[in-house]
Every structure is written in C-alpha cells, then in structure tokens.
Structure 1
C-alpha cells in the first residue's frame, strides 16, 4: 500500500491554496511545495524537493538577493512582478511574494501567483503586432503578384490566338490551364486585398442578428448532422460597426469549425455553440474599456493542431488540406477594425474562438 508523504509541520493549510507556495531551507533548497506549485512548475514534489530555488528557473538569480534579505529578516514580506524563464517551456509571468518566517528549518516562504492579466496583455500585443506585420506582408505580396499575373494571362490569350488551326485543340488545353490558374491567383489576391479596399460602412449593430444570419447560412449548408446551440445574453446593447464585416468574420470562424467537424457531422453528433456575454473592465490594444462584447464560437471538433496554434491568424496557414488559410486572417482583420481582437483556445474535443469588441 502506497503511503502518503508526511507534510512538514504547519503546512496543512498550504495544501488548499490556489497560489503556488514553496518553503525554502537556509540554503535556498525546496523543502516543501504545495499542489498548486506542482501544477504551476509542472513537476512533482519528489522532483522539486532539495532542488535549489535558482535551479528552477534560467534566471532564478533574480530571486537570490530578496531571498538573502528575507533570511536576514530585513523585511517581513517583499512583492515583485517577475518573468521567470524555464528550459523548453513558456516563461512564467508571476507576482512573487517572499516572506520571512520564524522557522529554523524553512525560514523563507516563496509564493508565486500567475499574472493572468499580464499574460493576456502580452498575448494581445503579440496578436496586434502579428496582425500589423500580416497587413504589410499582404499588401506588398498582393501588389507584387497582381501586376505580373495580368501580363501572364494576357500573354496566354494572345498565344492562343496565334495557335495553328491544326494544333488548336490540343495546345489550347495548355493555354487554358495558364488562364484559369492566373484567374485563380487573381481571386486569391483580391481576397487578400479586400479588407483594405472596402469602405467601412458603419451602422447600429445587434450582435444577435449577426449570429442568427450566420446560423441560417450554416444550417443551409449543413442541414444534417450539425446542431447549432444559441446561448445569448439578450441584455447586450447595440454598438456602432460594420454589420457585413462582422457577419463575414463570424461566418469564417463558424465555417472553419464546420469543416473541422466533418467526421462528426457525418456521425451526426457535431455541435457548434454561439454564446454572447458582457465583460467589464477589459483592456484591448492597451486601451481600457468599461464594457465589451464577449462572443464565443465553440465546437466539439478534433482541435487545432499544436504546431499551428500560435500561427492560425497568419495568412496562408491552414490546418486542413485544400484550405486557403485566409478565413481567420480576414476575420481577425475585420474584428480589429472594430477595435477588438479574436483569441483562441483549443484542445481535442473543444475549440473556442473568443471575439472581444468594445461596447459603448
């Protein structure tokens, strides 16, 4: 029978805390870690015990001075915001609280609270920077492609007119391939440039009318095997925006979800949910808003492959064969034109695209 490791005296209450707590001995080694610390550091108490605090992080020396001050009882408690780097893992954005204890065996308590707000701001900044780079890349690339395409198509048409009659049938097949592929690329370029060309037509928008329009389009395309759930907060106010752009953005997300749900649709158990809520005191692009629309498009599909989750809003990145990789890029562009942002959380069986847009 497996015996439970005995807890150091006086640590029973620490087991229940949601924040990560480490008790350190006089040399900075871990003597105790609560379950929240095991989760945060992705390591068991057995692996953590006797490791030096400085060995847990690549830049753990940031904690040395404050540890020594706590050991010397120069303060009772010290708080710091730190970014702690780890080998092969994401850095930890944490509020650290170092407390001097009246204990000879574990004189210092280190508490780590993940700074969720800072993580969110950093992620949003990364999305905005990525979006700006995407816009410049798209504009430059599209213009570079557009001009030669017209020349290629025109040359193929002229060549077709010059073909000898006796070989017209077999050779025309090749010129038509050139013309059709040039047209296909032209359509792709036009889609890339569309968000930057179309005028922003502003009117009062009811987000539920937008969702219902998308829902009707999805049900027409997928009449069997797909169930669309509605979970609306009807108290949401109208806001000023471009209704057609928002319909296109949400349709792109929902359509991507339906394509990922292809197997489940065939089995008849595909679920798609539109959920609306109000969130308060939201920061978007470093601007604080009192209220914001919080729209979720949730599906029970296989999830987005891990290797592209960080790049799904890049142009021409697609998780399926034959995808153009433009749907989510355009959706993000349209939402950002409303001062908002699209975020994504995905795992097998659950993918949630979250659309945040400021409200008046």
Structure 2
C-alpha cells in the first residue's frame, strides 16, 4: 500500500504569479504542488495533475525521474535538462519542448521543478532585442537628422540664391528641382523625428475605439474588394495611453496590409482581421504584468519576403516599391512608448502582427 499523499506544502502561493511552470515534486513522483501557469499549459486543474505520477506527463520520463532523484539525494544542488511535456487536453498538439530546472528544497525528499517553454525563452530574447533595436533606432535617427539637416539647409539656401541670379530659364528650373528635393528630404527628416518630438498625451484609451477608427479610415481609402473583420473581446478594460499614437501605430500596420492585398482586392477576397484578446501573466521588457492586451492585425496577403522579415522594423526598410520604410518603425516606437511590443509572423497567405500592451 502506497503512503498517503501529503497536503500541498504551504507558502507556495507566490508561484502562481510566475509565467513559468513550477511544481513541487516528491522523489517518488508525487506532485505536491503545481502553479497556475502549469494548469494553464496543461489545460487541467492542479488537483487533476496531482492525481497521477508527475513523471507520466513527460514523453520520456526516465531521465527526468533520475535527475529529480539525484537532486533529492544531494548529488547535485541543481540540475538542468530539456524534456517534452505532454498536453493531454490538446490531443492534436505536439508535445511541448521545455527546459527543466530541478532545485533542492528544505525537505530532502522534495524538489522544486521549474519548466521554461523554449519558445517562451526565445520570445523573451526577441523582445529584449526589439527593445535594444528601438533605442538604437532613436540614436540613429537623431544622429542622421543632425547630419542631414545642417548641409540640407545650406544646399537649399544656395539653390535659392542661384535661382535668383541665373537668367536662363532651364538653369532656374534646375535650381527649383534642387529646392524641391531639399524640401522632400527635410520632410523625411521631420517624419523621422516626429515621434521623439511630440509629447506623450496620456488619457483613458478604449482599444476598440482605436480599432474602429482605423477600420473606418482603411475602408474609406480601400472601399472595394476588402473586408475588415472584427473579433473583439469586449471585456478588455480601458487603459492609460496616447490614443492618437496608438491609432497611428495600428493604422500604419493595417495600411501596409491593405496595400499588400491589391491583387486579392481585384478578386474581391481581400481580408484583414482586427482581433483583441487578454493575455495573463505576461513579461514585457523584463517586467511582469498580470494582464496585457493582445491586438492582432491579420491579413491574407502574399506575406512578407523572408529576406527582410527580421528587419521590417528598421528605419527605411520596405518590402514595397515606393514605400518610405517608416511606417513600422514609427508603429514600434509608439507601442514601445506604451511599454509594449510588436511581433510579426508571416507566410504566404497569412501575415500576423501582434501588439502586446500591459493593462492595469
């Protein structure tokens, strides 16, 4: 007869605040505690998880069983390995690849096991790189603007003086071309600097009002052959932010999507989906948030070329002929000012931009 399973040890409520899966496991395989993240990933209650041998939740449990036993025997104070976690509720889903960290606890027969989704770690690394990229973009833009503006003013002034001095009409036209091109470059510099110059105007923002404004603007410009579907979670609360910046960020993404759908508009099956969801226990920029908004802008266009997919948020990178390459850079800057992130996934027939912003 097996010994009775003891009650879950107390003092572990704080583990429910973590994004990573945490379990307290006896060396014989009994699960004494599983946190909320473990429940969410498994799609099962922690009571259900504790009913069976904890190692049975893994595709190849023997190495993990041996590792837990070795840590419990004090052969190691901590140990790490990779494993595949079964997801019983999502029967069609592939096992989840996780990085397992096994640590000792005060009870020599009990270990603390943390499971980190490999994909989650990759995402966090990507978010950190994106934040560094935003800061690098700011510095690049400031330096670029400084280096361009000073000589640009001199070129324009010299062209104006030249235009007043020359008698030849053709030479005067050439001077006018110089002036117009200098003005175009000045406008480009101003657009680059705009998000860093204007103040951050904070007020209560309803994300669905933002989406509806963007939807109306896109349909006004592309009235035929395009459907913009709404898929809203109306329970999402208002949050503090700059409404105009968020409208511009979402508009830039949706406008790019609409322009990429020109061929499908001709066939009258172009589609953009605006989707809102709530994400729980989200880490953004190394900070933990209990709730976050996820806004998806999805289209059924040809997709983004793989050669530029990892650079689409860089200034002046565009996948469309005639594009300025500033729309997504500005969108990323505006979302970053709300402590959020933008991710992109793209394959032919489906491109998805996901904006994540913390909620109160």
CA drift of 1:200 comes to: 0.7
Q: 1:113 to 1:315 in 2, by over 3 A?
A: same
Counterpart mapping for 1:69-88 below 5 A: 79-80=79-80
Whether 2:90 is the aligned partner of 1:95: answer no
CA deviation string 1:231-271 (max 9, x = no partner): 00111100011000000000000001111111111221110
CA drift of 1:94 comes to: 5.2
Equivalent-residue separation in structure 1 for 2:116 and 2:239 (angstroms)? 36
Equivalent-residue separation in structure 2 for 1:208 and 1:322 (angstroms)? 31
| Residue pair 1:341, 1:357 contacting (<8 A) in 2 also | yes
TM-score normalised by the chain length of structure 1: 0.71
- 2:132 equivalent among 129, 132, 154: 129
Q: 1:140 to 1:75 in 2, by over 3 A?
A: same
The SS at the match of 2:314 is coil
CA deviation string 1:177-217 (max 9, x = no partner): 11111111111100000010001111110000010000000
CA drift of 1:116 comes to: 2.3
Counterpart mapping for 1:319-330 below 5 A: 319-330=319-330
CA deviation string 1:55-114 (max 9, x = no partner): xxxxxxxxxxx99xx9xx9979x85167xxxxxxxxxx951589xxxxxxxxxxxxx985
| Residue pair 1:205, 1:239 contacting (<8 A) in 2 also | yes
The SS at the match of 2:301 is coil
In structure 2, the residue matched to 1:300 is 300
In structure 2, the residue matched to 1:162 is 165
CA drift of 1:117 comes to: 2.0
Equivalent-residue separation in structure 2 for 1:117 and 1:348 (angstroms)? 25
The SS at the match of 1:306 is coil
In structure 2, the residue matched to 1:240 is 240
Equivalent-residue separation in structure 1 for 2:59 and 2:187 (angstroms)? 53
- 2:119 equivalent among 116, 119, 122: 116
The SS at the match of 2:307 is helix
In structure 1, the residue matched to 2:198 is 198
Counterpart mapping for 1:174-189 below 5 A: 174-189=174-189
The SS at the match of 2:351 is strand
- 2:145 equivalent among 123, 139, 142: 142
**Stretches of 4+ aligned residues off by more than 3 angstroms:** 17-24, 73-76
| Residue pair 1:20, 1:113 contacting (<8 A) in 2 also | no
In structure 2, the residue matched to 1:152 is 155
Equivalent-residue separation in structure 1 for 2:173 and 2:294 (angstroms)? 52
Equivalent-residue separation in structure 2 for 1:147 and 1:22 (angstroms)? 66
Structure 2 spans left out of the alignment, 5+ residues: 1-55, 83-96, 103-114
Instruction: Figure out how many residues of one structure are paired with residues of the other and give that number.
Output: 274
In structure 1, the residue matched to 2:342 is 342
Whether 2:355 is the aligned partner of 1:351: answer no
Q: 1:198 to 1:305 in 2, by over 3 A?
A: same
CA drift of 1:327 comes to: 0.3
Equivalent-residue separation in structure 1 for 2:117 and 2:218 (angstroms)? 39
CA drift of 1:118 comes to: 1.1
In structure 1, the residue matched to 2:88 is none
Equivalent-residue separation in structure 1 for 2:141 and 2:326 (angstroms)? 11
Equivalent-residue separation in structure 2 for 1:317 and 1:301 (angstroms)? 19
CA deviation string 1:307-351 (max 9, x = no partner): 111111100111111111000000000001011111111111111
The SS at the match of 1:155 is helix
Equivalent-residue separation in structure 2 for 1:263 and 1:180 (angstroms)? 34
Structure 1 spans left out of the alignment, 5+ residues: 1-16, 25-65, 83-92, 99-111
Q: 1:151 to 1:223 in 2, by over 3 A?
A: same
Equivalent-residue separation in structure 2 for 1:157 and 1:268 (angstroms)? 50
Q: 1:21 to 1:307 in 2, by over 3 A?
A: farther
| Residue pair 1:297, 1:353 contacting (<8 A) in 2 also | yes
CA drift of 1:172 comes to: 1.9
